[in-house]
């Protein structure tokens, strides 16, 4: 879109006692008196302008590239005691160049007037932020002005920008001016920037002279080695001191001026560090960040350990791109153990259990204990909070039977119910058989080991009730008996 040849501003945003929002992308503002003018005014009512301008060219305007004015005034009768005007302005991935006066002008006005009863107070505020912008070859640089400082505020922050050949580059009358990861080379800075700035911080930036910087650290003073300032190409050449010279803590945006990855490790260092300026050196066209979680013993794209990995590929347009993979590998629970108490199987894991019968999951069987109700093979797995599943436990072969079903097989048990003596026949007489009797609470009430084919068990000392009899020989049998 083109907004040009206007005797006033290419775009005039008026927040005159009202709230206005403007979001503008991919627009040229050229050959106007001013490229963009935003005014927030407050008297009877609050006035505000919120503007976000992305990928715009603000070029060759007669006076200002960007002109911002927050005007909190008092006029008329019966005005409110307190009122305010505010501008929030964000400039991203844009160029401000060739303008006849200041590249950016910011003014804030506020008053405290005793002409009214009670005294009226008006507050003007401007918050300006620049990300990945190129501000160059303007007749003058950036100017800010506060009128009645106790009643107005100006804060300006520049992140990863290029500010070149604007003289004077900075004339600040502001509360806070922060310049981070920005290239200020060749703007004629010598000594402190002019103006009254309550807090001026230049950090992790490149400037001609470090002696005039009152606050900040990690700055350098070396030729940034631009590709071509003549043609306005401020990409960094190989070997530029601005490569990996910034501070990542000041970056909360993902891409550089070109829309490519903002923080990129093009030099093979241990970790990626942002470059100074609007362009990241050697960065791919696009980077897609993904997070994956797997369990120990698994792999994702061949990676088996936790970490951050770069997977390079060529997209459909033939552009080098990368996937930044954050992989988290969770541990797998240890293999559980099964113990048995009469008809109850018990897992060594307190939680996360899943019981299986004959290789099929038992629906709803996820407690630590499971009461068997039929013969077969049982095992258990454990799942942790990361959904990682353990190896299965060893298989437990359980035979649940009754006296009637025993009669049809090798063993014979009678009588049942029993009053005095319980007889068991057809035991394997050539090896030991362990016989145990448990009450329904799982308490052992009788145990004996026999090596004969027939055994008579005296049960007169056992109280009347239901019991489980367990036979351990070639197989394991659980039989329910009743004592009269």
121 DSSP β-pair partners: 82, 112
Between residues 312 and 459, the one the model is more confident about: 459
Q: Rounded to 5 degrees, what are φ and ψ at 150?
A: -70, -10
Between residues 257 and 400, the one the model is more confident about: 257
Least confident of 83-97, 166-180, 227-241: 166-180
Q: Rounded to 5 degrees, what are φ and ψ at 192?
A: -70, 140
For 144-173, the pLDDT digits (tens) are: 999 998 999 999 999 999 999 887 667 788
Rounded distance between C-alpha atoms, residue 394 and residue 366, angstroms: 17
Asked whether the predicted pLDDT for residue 321 surpasses 90, the reply is: no
Confidence class of residue 409 from pLDDT cuts 50, 70 and 90? low
Look at residue 5 in the predicted model and tell me its pLDDT.
61
Rounded distance between C-alpha atoms, residue 10 and residue 5, angstroms: 7
Minimal CA–CA distance to 193: which of 213, 223, 207? 213
Look at residue 300 in the predicted model and tell me its pLDDT.
94
Look at residue 211 in the predicted model and tell me its pLDDT.
64
Q: Is 191 exposed, middle or buried (0-12, 13-18, 19+ CB in 10 A)?
A: exposed
Least confident of 188-192, 372-376, 393-397: 188-192
Tokens of 199: 């807090």
For 271-305, the pLDDT digits (tens) are: 889 999 999 998 887 778 899 999 999 999 999 99
Look at residue 188 in the predicted model and tell me its pLDDT.
57
Between residues 149 and 190, the one the model is more confident about: 149
Q: Is 229 exposed, middle or buried (0-12, 13-18, 19+ CB in 10 A)?
A: middle
Look at residue 210 in the predicted model and tell me its pLDDT.
61
Least confident of 117-121, 303-307, 341-345, 439-443: 439-443
Domain map (residue ranges) of the chain: 2-236, 285-330, 338-399, 402-483
On whether the CB atoms of residues 83 and 72 are closer than 8 A, the answer is: yes
Asked whether the predicted pLDDT for residue 75 surpasses 70, the reply is: yes
Look at residue 3 in the predicted model and tell me its pLDDT.
59
Confidence class of residue 190 from pLDDT cuts 50, 70 and 90? very low
Asked whether the predicted pLDDT for residue 212 surpasses 90, the reply is: no
Look at residue 286 in the predicted model and tell me its pLDDT.
76
Coil, strand or helix at 403: helix
For 450-463, the pLDDT digits (tens) are: 888 889 999 999 99
Mean pLDDT, residues 358-366 taken together: 94
Look at residue 428 in the predicted model and tell me its pLDDT.
81
Q: Where would I find the beta strands (DSSP E) of 9-165?
A: 9-16, 19-25, 28-30, 34-42, 47-54, 57-59, 66-72, 82-92, 95-97, 102-109, 111-113, 120-131, 134-136, 140-147, 152-159, 162-164
> What share of the chain in percent tops pLDDT 70?
92
Average pLDDT, the chain: 88
Between residues 424 and 285, the one the model is more confident about: 424
Query: Where is 325: in which H helix or E strand?
Result: strand 320-330
Look at residue 194 in the predicted model and tell me its pLDDT.
56
Look at residue 103 in the predicted model and tell me its pLDDT.
94
Mean pLDDT, residues 92-100 taken together: 96
Rounded distance between C-alpha atoms, residue 58 and residue 32, angstroms: 10
Look at residue 196 in the predicted model and tell me its pLDDT.
65
Looking at domain 402-483, does it have CATH number 3.65.10.10? no
């Amino acid at each position: 879109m083109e907004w040009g040849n206007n005797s006033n501003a290419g775009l005039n945003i008026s927040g005159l006692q009202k709230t206005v929002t403007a979001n503008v992308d991919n627009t040229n503002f050229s050959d106007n008196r001013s490229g963009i003018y935003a005014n927030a005014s407050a008297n009877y009512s609050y006035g505000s302008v919120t503007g976000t301008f992305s990928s715009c060219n603000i070029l060759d305007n007669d006076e200002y590239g960007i002109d911002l004015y927050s005007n909190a005034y008092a006029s008329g009768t019966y005005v409110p005691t307190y009122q305010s005007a505010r501008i929030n302005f964000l400039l991203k991935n844009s160029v401000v160049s060739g303008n006849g006066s200041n590249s950016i002008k910011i003014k804030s006005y506020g008053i405290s007037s005793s002409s009214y009863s009670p005294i009226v107070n008006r507050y003007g505020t401007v918050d300006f932020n620049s990300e990945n912008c190129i501000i160059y070859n303007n007749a003058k640089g950036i100017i800010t002005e506060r009128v009645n400082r106790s009643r107005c505020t100006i804060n300006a922050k520049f992140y990863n920008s290029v500010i070149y050949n604007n003289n004077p580059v900075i004339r600040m009358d502001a509360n806070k001016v922060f310049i981070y990861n920005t290239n200020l080379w060749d703007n004629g800075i010598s000594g402190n920037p002019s103006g009254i700035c309550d807090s001026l911080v230049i950090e992790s930036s490149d400037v001609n002279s470090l002696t005039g910087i009152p606050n900040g650290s990690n700055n350098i003073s070396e030729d940034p080695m631009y590709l071509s300032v003549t043609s306005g190409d401020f990409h960094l050449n190989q070997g530029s001191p601005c490569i990996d010279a910034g501070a990542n803590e000041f970056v909360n945006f993902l891409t550089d001026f070109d829309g490519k990855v903002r923080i990129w490790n093009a030099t093979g260092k241990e970790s990626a560090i942002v470059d100074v300026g609007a362009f990241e050196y050697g960065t791919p066209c696009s980077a897609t960040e993904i997070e994956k979680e797997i369990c120990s013993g698994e792999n994702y794209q061949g990676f088996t350990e936790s970490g951050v990995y770069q997977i390079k590929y060529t997209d459909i347009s033939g552009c080098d791109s990368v996937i930044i993979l954050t992989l988290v590998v969770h541990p797998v629970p240890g293999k559980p153990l099964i113990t048995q108490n009469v008809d109850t199987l018990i897992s060594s894991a307190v939680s996360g259990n899943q019981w299986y019968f004959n290789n099929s999951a038992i629906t709803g069987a996820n407690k630590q204990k499971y009461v068997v109700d039929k013969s077969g093979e049982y095992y258990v797995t454990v799942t942790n909070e990361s959904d990682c599943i353990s190896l299965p436990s060893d298989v437990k072969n359980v035979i649940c039977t009754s006296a009637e079903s025993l009669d049809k097989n090798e063993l014979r048990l009678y009588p049942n119910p029993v009053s005095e003596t319980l007889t068991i026949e057809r035991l394997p007489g050539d090896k030991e058989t362990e016989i145990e009797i448990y009450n329904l609470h799982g308490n052992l009430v009788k145990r004996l080991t026999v090596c004969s084919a027939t055994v008579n068990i005296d049960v007169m000392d056992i109280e009347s009730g239901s019991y489980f009899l367990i036979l351990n020989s070639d197989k394991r049998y659980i039989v329910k008996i009743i004592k009269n």
